[in-house]
A and B are shown apart, each in its own frame.
Chain A
Amino acid sequence: MSAPRPISEDDLQAYVDGALSTTRREEVKAYLDAHPEEAQRIEGFVADRATLRAALGAIAEAPIPPELGLRALIEARRARQAYWRPAIAAAAVLMIGGLAGWTARGVVTPPINGVGALSREAADNYRVYASDVHRPVEIGPAQKAELVRWVSNRVSSSVEVPDLQAAGYRFLGGRLVSTPHGPAALFIYDDAQGLRLAVMVRPMRVEKNTAMSEHAEEGLSGVSWATDGIGYSLVGPTPSAMLHPLADNVRRQVERHM
């Protein structure tokens, strides 16, 4: 017969939580019987645990207030989306109409705000691609070099894939996307909870160097800026205050590569 495994502090904590197998539980119990001081400490933990549960039990038993009703929250979300959808469609029609009109007159006007246009395009592409559950990207992280070659080639500048691993975002891959200003690279990331972020990169004809600006609409926020003629926009369904440190991180990375 093999010697019993020594008892660890983790075993004692798992004993408190009732998380041990029956055999191990017996071994810990035998240990505690032989060590009254430890037993006293552990019994104290068991008692505190029970008191804490009792003290907080009432909250979980209270009826759920109407503002936390799931059906109502889902309805409210649908209503919000339905409210905005025609407005966005109308805005798109106006924009296309407006562009066509200007183009027909032979007048090529840059958008009023280069980074503003970039932000909008990034948000649009996020909605199309990053929300696609099964196929958000064309090329996955395994073919990163190929992806970089492809998009760099098409946007006619050398594009790097920002690394957000340290901030908890895994690189899912990327693709080439279309914007009114030509092709752009879109890189997609997600965190452990499945929250997806996207970074869009394209050359800028106007506003070649700008400070970071934040924007938000309809549940999507973004932080955009331009450095040396390349525009960057980081987009995600999270407050822009949370995106900002990540954007700083991306900016540091791309500036280091220059």
Chain B
Amino acid sequence: MDDMIRLIEPSIPSLRRYARALVRDATEADDLVQDCLERAIGRWSQRREASDARSWLFSILHSLAVSRWRRLGRRGREVSLDDLDEADLAERATQQDSVNQSDILRSLAALPQEYRSVLLLVGVEDLSYAQAAKVLDVPIGTVMSRLSRGRARLAQIMANGSATQVRTPHLRRIK
């Protein structure tokens, strides 16, 4: 049990951050993390020895997030860009930084989920390309191409100044 705590606990802050950046609502994000931790505890003995705990935890969290999207029926992106609460995410920054940070979070939210996950896992959570590939269950080549496209898209959205301008209608899913 101590082993389990020692290996899981250090990842909790990162898991919270990843969940928050993916689903944005703070309560929902923490619910997702709680779900993830419960599963991790339950499946600890079934974990393959060789796999590292950190990317194993991210895999569980990621698949929970994916099934949540499926359940909600919005696969490409989150619905509303107006309900962002990025202000409190960026509370410690100076004003100019905080404007940039709000912009980037708003732009990130406008990205398709596949790009968002890669940018977060690699760029923020410091997973290696191989670890990210395992978490997302795709080949490394796919991680690299999503990274390249995702970064370009993000820059493009930032350059357009307003995330709402790139809300392309054909990407919205209608149930």
Contact = CB atoms under 8 A, between A and B. Distances in A.
Chains A and B are bound partners: yes
Interface of A: 9-10, 12-14, 16-17, 19, 41, 44-45, 48-49, 51-56, 58-62, 64-65, 67-68, 70-71, 73-74, 77, 131, 133, 168, 190, 192-196, 219, 237, 239, 242
Contacts of B139: none
Contact of B59 (A44, A48, A54, A193): A193
**Which of A41, A54, A190 has the largest count of B CB atoms less than 10 A from its CB?**
A54
Interface string B1-38: 10011001100111011001100000000100110011
Interface string B55-93: 010011001000100000000000000000010011111
Given A9-B148, A59-B20, A68-B33, A51 B100 contact: yes
A64 B46 contact: no
Contacts of B30: 65, 67-68
B150 to A, nearest CB: 10
B12 A192 contact: no
Given A17-B122, A58-B92, A192-B137, A70 B51 contact: no
B129 A194 contact: no
Contact of B5 (A13, A70, A168): A70
**Which of A13, A14, A239 has the largest count of B CB atoms less than 10 A from its CB?**
A13
Q: Helix, strand, loop or mixed for chain A's interface?
A: helix
Contacts of B89: 55-56, 58-59
B45 interface: yes
Nearest to A18: B126
A126 to B, nearest CB: 12
B101 A55 contact: yes
B43 A55 contact: no
Contacts of A74: 1, 4-5, 41
B48 A56 contact: no
26 contacts: A13-B144, A16-B151, A19-B128, A19-B129, A45-B151, A48-B155, A48-B158, A49-B151, A52-B119, A53-B124, A55-B90, A55-B100, A55-B102, A68-B30, A68-B34, A68-B37, A70-B4, A70-B12, A71-B5, A73-B34, A74-B5, A131-B46, A193-B51, A193-B60, A219-B42, A237-B39
A13 B147 contact: yes
A54 B91 CA distance: 11
Q: Which 9 A-B pairs have the closest CB atoms?
A: A55-B101, A60-B13, A59-B17, A60-B17, A194-B46, A49-B123, A45-B151, A194-B48, A51-B104
**Which of B16, B34, B46, B102 has the largest count of A CB atoms less than 10 A from its CB?**
B46
A60 B16 contact: yes
Contacts of B119: 52
Nearest to B107: A48
B163 interface: no
Interface string B101-144: 11011001000000000011011100011000010010000001
Contacts of A133: 45-46
Given A52-B119, A59-B13, 11 more contacts: A16-B123, A56-B17, A56-B105, A58-B89, A65-B30, A70-B4, A70-B5, A73-B38, A74-B5, A74-B41, A237-B39
A51 to B, nearest CB: 5
